Structure 1
Amino acid sequence: MSESTVSNRRGRALRIAAGVAVLLALAGYLVAQYVTGGGGAPRCTVRPAEGDGATYEISPEQAVNAATISAVGTSRGLPERAVTIALATALQESALRNIKHGDRDSLGLFQQRPSQGWGTEKQILDPGYSAGKFYEYLEKVPGYSRLPLTVAAQRVQRSGFPQAYAKHEPDAALLAAALTGRSPASLTCTAARDAQVGKPADVRAALVRDFGSDVLPGTRAVGAGATANLGGSTAKATVTVPVPTQAAGVAGTARGAGGERRGWELAHWAVAHSSALRIERVTYGGRVWTAGDSGKAWSEAKGAASGPAEVRISTAQ
């Protein structure tokens, strides 16, 4: 066999291999597009209520942690400013990820240190606990809501880079406005298309964990790893969360000022947890978010729409 024939065969084999690689890559891309609804990996987007201005995009993991931080703050009766400070701090310290490492023995969302009295490793790695400890220290800072964000955060964190918190304030403020319910229909998430079903019992347990027992009548608060006495049927795909006319929530706003803001707080919490809890649909105040529509926007609800008295959270079945 001539050298040129061998060379031609090798060249042909290389071209075939390259072609197969391209086809496999294309197939993988198409599968990914199908699974995620055509928009890449699942993401959550926060938009200003007025519909213009800068948007902010985060991952589902970050959205869950942000929603928990916000829920813990409002459940303590704290103002939106406190939630903004907490979110900016967590963005700087951990990028809103519950990480198991850091400087020296720092852990979790706020990089709190067991050796400095913040709690045990297990406690600090519980987002609800770590957020609660942050707020506990923040509340001890005189006039924290009137201080520059960097000053208030530094009084709690004692960071070596206190000015770093400032760069996160715009994004944290946008997040806080949505997650505390002041900015209606401003948080949306895309969700992966898969066959996993959601469990209403998990939704109820997560609501009680983040907001406390008052969020669902007939339940009791649970700690990390505990089981809630959820009551009612867990077979139903929809969890209905009542929104009191006078809702306890953000100090000076939802507390004693009507429940609409509380309703949007709960609705946005559910959307933020949509990937983690396999939530397919959230309805509130005549608006609906649906994962099947790639979660791009809230739309007008048709048929038996949820009004201002309740939030309906439907899991994938």
Structure 2
Amino acid sequence: MGRVSEPTRHPRPARRGRAARFAAGFAVLLGLVAYVTVHYVTGSKGAPRCTIGSGTNRYEFTPEQASNAATIAAVGTNRGLPERAVTIALATALQESGLRNIQHGDRDSLGLFQQRPSMGWGTPEQILDPVYASGKFYEGLEKVPGYSRLPLTVAAQKVQRSGYPQAYAKHEPDATLLSASLTGRAPAALACTADVAEGRPGDPARVRAELIRVFGEDTAPAVITAGPAAAGANAAALPPVELSVPVRSTTAPRERRGWELAQWAVARADDLRITEVSYGDRAWIADDASGDWTPAGSKSTDGSTLRIRLAR
């Protein structure tokens, strides 16, 4: 038999191919490093976000989710319900909708709690109103004897009648963090960033209406400084709109009520165009890339009022 020739090898092109791929990969890496460096140096916040807790006991969520969570908590406390009720409601909404006011679901289920118009929860328009939907959930929960002493899954299931009742349990740690902050028990625990530097100005009338709707007439704010809504005003020449919200004791001590209002305002900042919130000796500023509360200095309040500043 004749000798079988070995396949011809071309080492140089293969090496050139590897070298090209290496160079391309290195260029991408350099670009990524440059991007991260520039954003770090310039303090870019990226997409708005909110966080509660730290380390492994930490929950991160979007402004939309924070706004809905704050509404759920406010409706509960305004009904005079305990923090445990708020935790149950938040865990339920985390499971049912991920704290998003979704317009679809199993069969005709809608909204934060996936409530069904055909089952008597209300009209689609009502169910898609977070305040209404939260109120209906608490209305059902209040009918459950001893709900605050029941396991969360049991209490939630008696309201929801879900096909997967055990699924609520996995959300209890996050719901507990959220409720502690949003009911004011954990002051300055909610850290959020908000993109309000450009775009439409804040509307003090809307902020006022939202405060009254979820917390009651006692929280009707006063406008401290005039803003661009003034007739014929030059927006660039006017100071930002600043609201003074009275803080009064309810079923909770005044300081806890104040922090509930303050962290509600931060959670709603992206939607309501809030640039700064001050309460006690702490302040939250939308431009701060960390999203944290900081010492307020001269901006501090005496605890009887909450200051909210709006974008102009």
Normalised by the length of structure 2, the TM-score is 0.80
The answer on whether the counterparts of 1:93 and 1:111 sit within 8 Å (CA) in structure 2 is: yes
SS at match of 1:293: coil
**In the alignment, which of 248, 263, 268 is matched to residue 250 of structure 2?**
248
**Shift in alpha-carbon separation, 1:138–1:193, aligned structure 2, 3 A:** closer
Match of 1:175 in 2: 178
Structure 2: tracts of 5 or more residues without a match: 1-23, 230-239
Tell me whether 1:214 sits opposite 2:218 in the alignment. yes
Tell me whether 1:116 sits opposite 2:122 in the alignment. no
The answer on whether the counterparts of 1:243 and 1:262 sit within 8 Å (CA) in structure 2 is: yes
Match of 2:195 in 1: 192
Q: Deviations over 1:88-130 (max 9, x none)?
A: 0000000000000000000000000000000000000000000
**In the alignment, which of 64, 67, 70 is matched to residue 67 of structure 2?**
64
The answer on whether the counterparts of 1:37 and 1:193 sit within 8 Å (CA) in structure 2 is: no
Structure 1: tracts of 5 or more residues without a match: 1-17, 219-229
The answer on whether the counterparts of 1:200 and 1:315 sit within 8 Å (CA) in structure 2 is: yes
Q: Deviations over 1:34-92 (max 9, x none)?
A: 9x9523211001127xxx76121110000000000000000000000000000000000
SS at match of 2:113: coil
Q: What is the deviation of 1:195? A: 1.3
Tell me whether 1:283 sits opposite 2:278 in the alignment. yes
Tell me whether 1:316 sits opposite 2:311 in the alignment. yes
**Aligned mates of 1:187, 1:285 — CA distance in 2:** 15
Q: What is the deviation of 1:153? A: 0.1
Q: What is the deviation of 1:189? A: 0.5
**Aligned mates of 1:33, 1:119 — CA distance in 2:** 47
The answer on whether the counterparts of 1:44 and 1:57 sit within 8 Å (CA) in structure 2 is: yes
Larger radius of gyration: 2
**Aligned mates of 1:142, 1:103 — CA distance in 2:** 28
SS at match of 2:287: helix
Normalised by the length of structure 1, the TM-score is 0.79
**Shift in alpha-carbon separation, 1:262–1:115, aligned structure 2, 3 A:** same
**Aligned mates of 2:145, 2:100 — CA distance in 1:** 29
Q: What is the deviation of 1:213? A: 2.2
SS at match of 1:314: strand
**Shift in alpha-carbon separation, 1:123–1:88, aligned structure 2, 3 A:** same
Q: Deviations over 1:212-233 (max 9, x none)?
A: 2232179xxxxxxxxxxx9x97
Match of 1:145 in 2: 148
The answer on whether the counterparts of 2:181 and 2:263 sit within 8 Å (CA) in structure 1 is: yes
The answer on whether the counterparts of 1:150 and 1:163 sit within 8 Å (CA) in structure 2 is: yes
**Shift in alpha-carbon separation, 1:201–1:33, aligned structure 2, 3 A:** farther
**Aligned mates of 2:123, 2:196 — CA distance in 1:** 38
**Shift in alpha-carbon separation, 1:37–1:96, aligned structure 2, 3 A:** farther
Match of 2:45 in 1: 39
Q: What is the deviation of 1:159? A: 0.3
Q: What is the deviation of 1:192? A: 1.8
Q: What is the deviation of 1:241? A: 0.8
Q: Identity of counterpart residues, as a percentage?
A: 64
The answer on whether the counterparts of 1:37 and 1:192 sit within 8 Å (CA) in structure 2 is: no
SS at match of 1:166: helix
Q: Deviations over 1:210-261 (max 9, x none)?
A: 222232179xxxxxxxxxxx9x9775611111112xx124xxxx0xxx2000
1:201 is matched by which residue type in structure 2?
A
